[in-house]
Amino acid sequence: MKRPLRYLVPLVVFGVLVVFLGRGLFLNPQEVPSPLIGKPAPEFTLPRLHNAAAQFSSRDLRGQVWLLNVWASWCVACRQEHPLLVELSRQGIVPIYGLNYKDHREDAIRWLQELGDPYVASAYDVDGKVGFDYGVYGVPETYVIDKQGIIRYKQIGPITPDALQNRILPLVRELQAS
């Protein structure tokens, strides 16, 4: 009786592992559920990127729908989404605010000068504490925040034209109309 169990237990454990790993192959890594969706966005006050003496506070944005884009000059994927953010900014559909994450101030300013600055303002999160509060997995990440300061959507990774047209902009328009 002991002999069959000795072979059966490892076989069952192996089968369970195969099921879990197999399921993981079909998950989208950009659709990581955020516990912050539907909850108030963490409030913060940080120095502005372009002027360390001036403060940027998320409280000042209440009453409007806005995007918070977490980015860094060292981020390759941020460079990929940047032209889309610049174009969105030019269209004036929704204000975009930046959260410069764990970066060197000079590098970030130079990056925006070279590639264009889509942000109404950028906060400078040098140690990543605000990013941590927002549950940032890595940059870029973008949050849609409503008029009451509630996070309604989180885009992990670069914004794509598809995500912008089919998820972000329809949500922004719906929130602006309410």
**pLDDT for 151-163, tens place per residue?**
999 999 999 999 9
- pLDDT category at 11 given cuts 50, 70, 90 is confident
Token output for 154: 């989180």
**Cα first-last separation, the chain:** 68
Domain 36-177 in this protein, CATH class: alpha beta
How many whole angstroms separate alpha carbon 72 and alpha carbon 107? 9
Q: Is the pLDDT of residue 3 over 80?
A: no
Amino acid symbol at 94? V
Q: Residue 18 has what pLDDT?
A: 67
Query: Residue 69's beta-bridge partner residues?
Result: 98, 142
The pLDDT tens digits of the residues spanning 79-137 come to: 999 999 999 999 999 999 999 999 999 999 999 999 999 999 999 999 999 999 999 98
Q: Give the H/E segment covering residue 49.
A: none
Q: Is the pLDDT of residue 23 over 90?
A: no
Share the mean pLDDT of the chain.
Answer: 91
Domain boundaries, the chain: 36-177
How many whole angstroms separate alpha carbon 41 and alpha carbon 57? 12
How many whole angstroms separate alpha carbon 86 and alpha carbon 82? 6
**DSSP designation for 149:** S
Mean predicted confidence (pLDDT) in 10-30? 64
